[in-house]
Structures are given as C-alpha cells and as structure tokens.
C-alpha cells in the first residue's frame, strides 16, 4: 500500500513538472515543443493537467476512499498514449509530446493494474467507485 501511495503522489508531481515546462516562457520552444500562438490553447491543457496532478496528490492521502481517481487517471493516461502515437502528435506538436507519452506508459499500467491488487477491489469496483464491493460485508 505504501508503494502505491507514493506512486500516485509521484504521478501527480509528474503532471506538475510537465505543467512547469509548458508554462515557463521559452522552455517549450527550447525542447522542441510547438506551442499554439493563442495563449488559451497553452493554458487550457495546462490547467487540466494541473487539476489532475492536484487530484492525484490529494487522492494519495487515502487510496482506500479515493482510489477511483488515480485509477481513472491511469485510463486517461493510456488513452493519451494511444492518441499520441495514432494521431502522430509528435510530428504536429513536437518530440516532447512523445516523451510525455512514453513517461505515461508505466504510470498508466502500474496504476491500472496495481491499484486493484493493492486495494483488493476489482477493476469494475474502481471504475464505479465502489469502496465496498457488493459481496463484502461492509
């Protein structure tokens, strides 16, 4: 349980580090990221990523109660990875997007498969945020 708590916390900090890169003037261009000319399209995904990072850090405090949030975040990360490589986003946005996607692979897989094991709940329970499975005596 302790490993998963720290793992979820690290995933939240990983989000924050990506946000810092996106929002620090001049850094995106230096690492080959093509930023949109309209600031809204830089800030919107950054704020969404920041929200996810905050939710992950707060969820890590009590995974028994809030385990569905990092579980769903793992699914979203996996969808992001698939989207990056099927939509050829590195070619459109820059190589840094591919680096983020590669970093998201272990975060997504460990979360999706580790949380059910550690929390002793099924994938369905985590998808539906069931803290106490129907068959258990809660």
pLDDT digits (tens, 9 = 90+) for 33-60: 888 889 898 899 899 999 999 999 999 9
What are φ and ψ of residue 7, in 5° steps?
Answer: -65, -45
Q: Tell me the pTM.
A: 0.87
Q: In the prediction, which pLDDT does 138 show?
A: 53
What is the residue-averaged pLDDT of the chain?
Answer: 91
* Least confidently predicted of 53-57, 79-83, 86-90, 118-122: 86-90
> pLDDT tens digits for 98-110?
888 999 999 999 9
Q: Is 137 a residue whose pLDDT tops 60?
A: no
Q: Where are the alpha helices (DSSP H) in 1-138?
A: 2-23, 27-30, 40-59, 63-66, 68-86, 89-93, 95-119, 123-127
135 pLDDT above the threshold of 70? no
Residue 96 has pLDDT above 70, yes or no: yes
What is the Cα–Cα distance from 67 to 91, expressed in whole angstroms? 35
Question: What's the average model confidence in pLDDT over 13-18?
Answer: 91
Instruction: Please give the structure tokens belonging to residue 63.
Output: 């995974």
């Amino acid at each position: 349980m302790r490993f998963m708590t720290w793992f979820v916390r690290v995933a939240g900090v990983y989000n924050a580090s990506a946000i810092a890169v996106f929002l620090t003037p001049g850094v995106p261009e230096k690492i080959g990221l093509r930023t949109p000319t309209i600031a809204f399209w830089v800030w919107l995904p950054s704020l969404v990523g920041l929200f996810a990072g905050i939710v992950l850090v707060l969820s890590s405090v009590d995974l028994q109660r809030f385990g569905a949030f990092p579980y769903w975040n793992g699914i979203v990360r996996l969808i992001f990875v698939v989207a990056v490589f099927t939509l050829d986003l590195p070619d459109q946005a820059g190589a840094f997007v591919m680096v983020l996607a590669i970093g998201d692979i272990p975060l997504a897989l460990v979360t999706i498969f580790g949380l059910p094991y550690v929390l002793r709940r099924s994938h369905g329970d985590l998808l539906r945020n069931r803290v106490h499975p129907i068959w258990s005596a809660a």
